[in-house]
Chain A
Amino acid sequence: MRERVGVYVCHCGGNISDYVDVKKVVEAVKDLPNVAVARDFIFMCSDAGQDLIKEDIKNLNLDGVVVASCSPHLHEKTFRDAAALAGLNPYLVEHVCIREHCSWVHSDDPEAATQKAIWIVKSAIAKVSLADELQPIRLEMKPEAIVVGGGIAGMRCAIDLAKAGIKVHLIEKKPFLGGRAAQIFKLYPSGKTGSDLVKELVDELKRYPNIHVYTNAEIVEASGALGDFKVKIVVKPRYVKEGVSKEEIRRAVECCPVEVLDEFNYGLTNRKAIYVRESSYPEEAVIDMDHCIKCNECGIADFEQKEETYELRGSMIILATGAKPYEPKEGEFSYGIYDHVITLPVFDRLLAVCDGKLEYEGKEIKDIAFIYCVGSRTEEHEYCSRYCCVATLNAALGALEKFGKLRVYHIYRDIRAYGKYETYYEKVGEEGMLFIKYDPEDPPVVERKGDKLIVKVRDLLTGGEELEVPVDLVVLSVGMVVEEAEIFNMLRVPFSRDGFLQEVHPKLKPVETAIGGVLIAGTCQFPKDTVETTASASAAVGRAETYLVKGYAELEPFIAEVDPEKCDGCSVCVEECPAGAIRIENGKAVINEALCKGCGACGALCPTEAINLKGYKYEQFRAMIDILKEA
C-alpha cells in the first residue's frame, strides 16, 4: 500500500482550468489518508511542472504520483521519466486524462466537468495506492521499414532511412515514382520543375541498394504492430521483357501504333500504349493494357507475365500516400460547362507542354483570371489548403516569364503568401497583374460572351464595384483533399475532422499516429507545399530512427503474473490465454513472458483470482470502485 501519494492537477494553460475548477479538485483529494501533497499548476508538462514532481518525490519522500492532465498518450512517458529521474519507479506514476476525457467534452457544464475530474483523480489515487514497482520489457527492432507512397515524401523517407543503414521497402501504386509533385511546372522557391526534383531524388535513391522499390503495387493486407508489421502486396506486371536497353525502349515507343490521352498531362498531350516517364523510376517501360491492342509492333512485349505477390516485413511503417487536387463540382464557377475553365494543376501542365505561345483547346490565351479558394474554406472543406495562394502566384509569374504579354487577374478571398513567400505577392503586383477581392457570400460568376469568358465579380477593394472581366482562360485555384488508400483502414489509422490522417499531437508527436509504429509524412497529414512535404518526411524518418537505429524499443511491462499461493492449477487460464503463453508446472500456472501479449484474458475466469495483469490488478479496480462509492 502506497502511503505517500503526490497529486498534481494541470490547468493546461486554461484548456482544463477554463472548465474544470482545478482548485476544487485539489481540495477534494488533499485530505485523503494516503495523499501527502496535492497541487495544481499551469502546465504540468513544463520543466517547472516536472520539477515540482521531482522535488516533492525527494523532499516529501513520495511513494506514488498521480498526474491529471491531458491524455496519457501524450505525456505519460514524460511524467514517468520525471519520476524515474527523481528515483521513483516510473510505474508508480498514474497519469489520468481530464482534458480530452473531461474539460473538452463537458465544456458546456463546468460543474459536472469538475465533479467528473474529481472522480477520475480519486480513482487514480486508489489505483496507484496498490501499484507495484515494475521494469520495462525490451523489444528487439530489426532495421527494416516499409514506406507507402512513392512521391517526393516517400522517396525522401526511403533515402534518409537507407542512409542510416535501414532496409526500406518503398511501395508505389503507380507504374513510376514521383507522385503529383512531378507534374508541377515550376517549384517555389527553387524555380526547378517538379520532374527536376524527382530526378534528383531518383538519382540519390539509386545509390542505395538497401532500398527495394515496388511500383505498380497494390497493398492487399497489412497487419502487425511496432517491431513486426506485415504488408502483403500484389505487383502488377509491366508486360515488358526484362533487361531491354534504353534504345530498344525508345524504338518500341516509337513503333507503338496506339495513342491515348496522357494522364500525366491531364490529356493535354498523347502518349503511346507502351510508355516510359522521363526522369522517373524505374527506367523501364510499361504497357497500358487498357489500351494495348497486343499487336507486338513494339517487339518487347511479354504478355505472359503474371502478377507477383510479396509479403514484406518492417519494424515500422511510414505512410506517405499524399493528397490530390480538389475536383470542382459540375458548374462550380462554370467548371465542366465551359472548356476554358480549368484547375491550377491542369494549368501547370499547360505551361509545361506549350511552346512559343500559350494555347488551350486551339485558342491562344492572352488574358487569364485566377479564382482563389476553390473548394477551400467552404462548408464541405472548412480548412485552408494554404499552399495554393503561393502556388497560384508562382504559376502566374511562371506563365509571364515563359510566354510574356499576358493580362492576369487574381480574383481572391484572402492572400496567404506566408513567410518569405510575401515576395511572390509583391512581384505579382510589380508585374502589373491586378488583384480583385471577392466576397465569399457573393462569389464571382463565370459566363460566356462570344469567344471570351466573362468573370462577373464585385470588387471589395473598390467599395463593391461590379466588374466584368473578359478573359480567355479561367484557372480555379483548388485546394487539396486526402488521397484515400486501403491501408488506412487495414491499420485503422485515425483521421482528422478534415479527412486527412491525424498525428497524435501537432507539437509533441507531429509525425506519429495513434497506431504505435505507424508514422505519417507529407500531404496525407494536411496540405503542404513541397518544402514542407520534404521536411515532414525527414522528420518522420528522424522519429523512426530513434527505434530502428537503436535496435530496440522498451515496451510497457504489463504482462500476466501468477500468485503461486493462490493458484490451484485448475488450468482455466491455460484455456483462456489466446497466445498459448501459460502452462501448468508442478500444479501451478507459469507464464511464458516472451509469448504473453498483455491482454489480461487469462485472469478473467480464474476461480481464485491467482492471475493478474501487472499494472491492472483486480484489487486495484475494486479499490477504484470503492473510493467512488460515496463520491
Chain B
Amino acid sequence: MKSGDEIIMTHKILIFAADMAYRALDQAGLLHAHYSPNTVIFRIPCATLIRPDLIVYALKNGFDAVFVASSGPDCPFLGEKCVSIVSKRIEKAYELLDKEGIERERLVVSGVCSTCVETLVNTLERIENFLQSRG
C-alpha cells in the first residue's frame, strides 16, 4: 500500500533486534545517537529464532540488507551458547544466499549488548556504505 506523497527512500535495511540489541537501540535513542534512517526494526527475543530462509525471503522481497543484531554472549535466554547457534544459522543463510546469487555482504550479524550503542552505529554505517557503493 503506497500513499501518494510517500517519501521515497533509496534502500531498506531490516534489523532483527534480539532482546539486548533492542535495548541498545533504546539506549541509542536516549543518547540521541544517529544512524541510518533506512532501517526497519523487527523485535525478536533471541537471534537463534531466525530461520535462514526468512533472511533470504527478506532480501528477495524488498530489503537490501539484513542485520541480525543478536544479544551475543549476553543473551538472557542462552548466554554464551547463543553465539555458536546464531553462527550456525548465519552459515546456513549464507549457503542459501549463494544458491540464490545474493551477495553475502547483504547479511551482517553482530552481537550487540544492551550498552553496545557504538557497535550498533558502526555496523549500520558499514552496511549503509556497502549499499551506497552498490548504488
Contacts and interface: CB of A to CB of B under 8 A. Distances in A.
A631 B51 CA distance: 24
Given A31-B1, A112-B37, A492-B114, A600 B48 contact: yes
Contact of B45 (A29, A99, A616): A616
Given A97-B41, A100-B28, A625-B58, A115 B78 contact: no
Interface residues of A, number: 66
Interface of B: 1-3, 5-7, 9, 12, 14, 20, 23, 25-35, 37-46, 48-52, 54, 57-58, 61-63, 74-79, 81-82, 85, 89, 92, 113-115
Interface of A: 24, 27-29, 31-32, 71-73, 97, 99-102, 104-109, 111-116, 118-120, 122-123, 223, 225, 492, 494-495, 497, 502, 514-516, 558, 576, 578, 597-601, 603-605, 609, 613, 616, 618, 621-622, 624-631
Per DSSP, chain B at the interface is loop
Contact of A112 (B7, B14, B76, B79): B7
A625 B59 CA distance: 9
Given A31-B3, A108-B34, 17 more contacts: A32-B1, A97-B41, A100-B25, A101-B25, A101-B26, A104-B32, A105-B28, A105-B37, A118-B6, A122-B1, A223-B79, A495-B115, A558-B45, A578-B85, A597-B78, A599-B77, A601-B85
Contacts of A105: 28-29, 32-35, 37
A105 B3 CA distance: 25
Contacts, number: 165
A221 B62 CA distance: 45
A115 B49 contact: no
B44 A616 contact: yes
Contact of B1 (A115, A622, A627): A627
Contacts of A626: 61
B1 A599 contact: no
18 contacts: A72-B43, A97-B26, A97-B29, A105-B32, A107-B32, A108-B34, A123-B42, A576-B85, A578-B48, A597-B77, A600-B49, A601-B46, A601-B49, A605-B52, A613-B45, A628-B40, A628-B62, A630-B1
Most buried by B among A31, A101, A111, A123: A101
A71 B26 contact: yes
A115 B23 contact: no
A599 B62 contact: no
Contact of B27 (A114, A494, A516): A494
